[in-house]
């Protein structure tokens, strides 16, 4: 027991003395939180657009002015002919060209209709749709201001909407749970796998194996510091998310910690497994990053909704532990639900943990022989 305690202490020292890694281990989640909270969003502000006004009369000028005045758009260019559209897009700044036909107000009066064409740069389809929709909204607004009072537009079916759990649709509320999962996965799985593989690569693993420490003690000793680190990180992120961004926490804190610990164990067992199949740190790193972290970020529902993915990828996402953890964390934090809704996901995580531990032990024994 004494040897074991000494070993664990040494592992702690090892990690804490590495000031650079410490800085990153604690700093990165915070930076990521700030990024996701403040910078990563999908909104539209002051998008640069150009106008090709063939008519230049009072109506078109007013329309253009109205669009420019909105916070969504800035009219930064006035084109003279249609040939200029392509180069305007090529140069990259313009997102949309609004084309107004000649003799606009006259045509509007005489024929009852005039045409506006919105040419959007659809390389970013999300953005293009937003730009187009917002422009149309402004135009239809303008249309209404042209219409005289007394004209009835029967719009009697108007839905009232309630957005549950996230009334302002803040994206940070969606990201924070995912961020927690990613951090845990990074620290617990990646760091553990590299730490164990490092001993193998440096040759010091053999020294450990012939010491009075039993193999399971070596593993537990290597793993405990990262567990502690993960927990500290999770709590830090949680506190910051609550205080700075007001991310809600509606469910049971005890349940949350329990589930977090469970997920840490899952990530640790994965890290362990990776270390049994890697011979050097480079391999461990690549496998952890490409095989674990990347799928976690992409397929777990962290940023991209699983429901939008093609069927195969939805199936694939089921074998990613983080996917289930995200359901749990979002459920607890945003929906405020408890174990009665989340037992299935919890069981799945537990099963995965067991599976990987068994696999690792088996691999480890094979190595020793």
**Least distance from C-beta 8 to another protein, angstroms?**
19
- Using CA of residue 221, residue 225, residue 228, residue 234, what is the dihedral sign? negative
**Least distance from C-beta 30 to another protein, angstroms?**
11
Span near another protein by CB under 8 A; candidates 49-57, 222-230, 237-245, 276-284: 276-284
Question: Does 17 help bind another protein (rule: CB under 8 A)?
Answer: no
Q: Can you tell me which of 16, 38, 216, 253 binds another protein, judged by CB under 8 A?
A: 38
Please, which residue, 118 or 209, has the CB nearer to another protein?
118
Greatest Cα pair distance in the chain: 97
**What is d(CA 101, CA 2) in angstroms, rounded to the nearest whole number?**
86
| Number of chain residues interacting with another protein (CB under 8 A) | 116
Question: Does 194 help bind another protein (rule: CB under 8 A)?
Answer: yes
Site for another protein in 245-274 (CB under 8 A): none
CA-angle at 55, arms to 53 and 61, nearest 5°: 70
Please, which residue, 272 or 299, has the CB nearer to another protein?
299
Span near another protein by CB under 8 A; candidates 217-225, 231-239, 254-262, 296-304: 296-304
Burial class (CB in 10 A: 0-12, 13-18, 19+), 32: middle
- Both tokens of 232, joined, read 């500290």
Site for another protein in 62-81 (CB under 8 A): none
**Least distance from C-beta 233 to another protein, angstroms?**
14
Question: Does 174 help bind another protein (rule: CB under 8 A)?
Answer: yes
CB-CB neighbours of 262 under 10 Å: 18
Cα separations (Å) of 329 from 91, 146, 258, 353?
44, 50, 11, 18
| Residue 349: partners with Cβ closer than 8 Å, 6 or more residues away | 259, 262, 263, 266, 321, 324, 325, 328
Site for another protein in 87-116 (CB under 8 A): 89-92, 95, 107-109, 111-116
**Least distance from C-beta 12 to another protein, angstroms?**
16
Binding mask 118-157 for another protein (x = CB under 8 A): xxxxxxxxxxxx--xx-xx--xx-xx--xxx-xxxxxxxx
The 3-state DSSP class for residue 125 equals helix
**Least distance from C-beta 171 to another protein, angstroms?**
5
**What is d(CA 293, CA 297) in angstroms, rounded to the nearest whole number?**
6
Question: Does 83 help bind another protein (rule: CB under 8 A)?
Answer: no
Site for another protein in 312-341 (CB under 8 A): 313, 316, 327, 330-331, 334-335, 337, 341
Question: Does 18 help bind another protein (rule: CB under 8 A)?
Answer: yes
Question: Does 51 help bind another protein (rule: CB under 8 A)?
Answer: no
Question: Does 210 help bind another protein (rule: CB under 8 A)?
Answer: no
Pairing of strands 73-79, 47-53: parallel
Q: What is the 8-class DSSP label of residue 148?
A: P
Of 225, 238, 316, 290, nearest to 264 by C-alpha is 225
Span near another protein by CB under 8 A; candidates 38-46, 75-83, 230-238, 359-367: 38-46
């Amino acid at each position: 027991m004494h040897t074991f305690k000494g070993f664990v202490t040494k592992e702690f020292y090892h990690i804490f003395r590495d000031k650079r890694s410490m800085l990153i281990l604690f700093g990165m989640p915070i930076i990521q939180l700030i990024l996701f909270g403040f910078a990563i969003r999908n909104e539209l502000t002051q998008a640069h657009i150009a106008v090709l006004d063939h008519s230049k009369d009072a109506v078109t000028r007013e329309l253009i002015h109205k669009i420019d005045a909105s916070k969504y758009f800035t009219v930064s260019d006035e084109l003279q002919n249609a040939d200029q559209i392509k180069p305007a897009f090529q140069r990259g700044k313009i997102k949309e060209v609004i084309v107004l036909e000649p003799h606009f107000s006259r045509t509007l009066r005489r024929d009852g209709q005039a045409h506006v064409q919105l040419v959007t740069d659809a390389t970013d389809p999300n953005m293009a749709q937003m730009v187009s929709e917002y422009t149309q909204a402004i135009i239809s607004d303008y249309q209404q201001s042209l219409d005289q009072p007394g004209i009835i537009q029967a719009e009697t079916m108007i839905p009232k909407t309630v957005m549950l759990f996230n009334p302002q649709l803040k994206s940070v509320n969606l990201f924070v749970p995912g961020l927690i999962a990613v951090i845990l996965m990074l620290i617990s799985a990646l760091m553990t796998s590299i730490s164990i593989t490092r001993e193998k690569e440096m040759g010091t693993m053999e020294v450990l194996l012939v010491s009075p420490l039993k193999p399971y003690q070596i593993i537990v000793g290597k793993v405990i510091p990262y567990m502690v680190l993960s927990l500290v990180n999770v709590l830090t992120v949680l506190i910051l998310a609550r205080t700075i961004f007001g991310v809600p926490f509606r469910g049971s804190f005890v349940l949350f910690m329990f589930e977090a610990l469970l997920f840490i164990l899952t990530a640790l067992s994965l890290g362990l497994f990776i270390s049994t199949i890697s011979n050097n740190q480079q391999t461990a790193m690549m496998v952890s990053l490409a095989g674990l972290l990347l799928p976690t970020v992409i397929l777990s529902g962290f940023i991209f909704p699983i429901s939008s993915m093609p069927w195969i990828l939805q199936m694939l996402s089921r074998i990613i532990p983080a996917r289930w953890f995200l359901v749990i964390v979002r459920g607890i934090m945003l929906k405020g639900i408890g174990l009665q809704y989340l037992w299935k996901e919890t069981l799945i995580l537990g099963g995965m943990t067991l599976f990987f531990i068994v696999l690792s032990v088996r691999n480890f024994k094979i190595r020793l022989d």
